Amino acid sequence: MNRRLPRLLSAMLALAACQREERDPRPQPALGSGDQPVPASSDAKAGAFEANAFHLSEGKRLFNWFNCSGCHANGGGGMGPALMDQKWIYGGSIESIHATIRDGRPNGMPSFRDKIPDDQIWELAAFVRSLSGNAPSSAAPGRDDDMMPHPSENRLPDAATLGKSP
């Protein structure tokens, strides 16, 4: 028993000497290149992608093409976080989402900086933002009709025909 005590004491001292990397469980919103904070939705390019139905549909196509659903399960969350709610770990602005896709994040989100052209990253960011209902109403909805809480407006019955019998 006396032989085990020095080994146990050595092991405890070795473990106590180890320093873990300190991480904030709720880090600050995304940082851009050069560790500068990402500006709040003032970028004209960001607005052009976010308010454009074509870019949203291209983002949806790219989301499927790059198999983002493999981790994010069509936006509902899986191995990766859900994209359909209002809870954003690194900020919910389109600029923050763009920075997340471009630079990646610890614990799973890879960087796509050198794999996807920047305009396609903006399209993906616009689509991802639209999944949580943050797209302008003038743009097409981001979710498929079967994932919407109610039918699309163009599929709703006409209000004038609701009161009439067939």
| Tokens 């943050």, located at residue | 134
- Provide the residue ranges of all domains of the chain, joining segments of one domain with +: 44-137
Share of the chain above pLDDT 70, in %: 60
Q: How far apart are CA 115 and CA 26, in angstroms?
A: 28
Whether 20 shows a pLDDT value over 70: the answer reads no
The interaxial angle of helices 53-65 and 118-131, nearest 10 deg, is 100
CA trace torsion 103, 21, 81, 132 (10° rounding) = -60
Evaluate if residue 12 carries a pLDDT over 90. no
Q: What is the band of 29 on the pLDDT scale with cuts at 50, 70, 90?
A: low
pLDDT tens by residue, 48-100: 788 888 888 889 899 989 888 888 887 777 778 888 888 888 888 889 899 99
Cα(80)–Cα(73) distance, rounded to whole angstroms? 8
Question: What's the Cα-to-Cα distance from 14 to each of 17, 19, 20, rounded to whole Å?
Answer: 5, 10, 13
Distance from C-alpha of 50 to C-alpha of 36, rounded to nearest angstrom: 22
- In this structure, what token pair is assigned to residue 75? 């936006």
pLDDT single digits (tens) 115-153: 999 999 999 999 988 888 777 766 655 555 555 555 556
pTM: 0.59
Q: Which fold has domain 44-137?
A: Cytochrome Bc1 Complex; Chain D, domain 2 (1.10.760)
Distance CA 140, CA 101 (A): 22
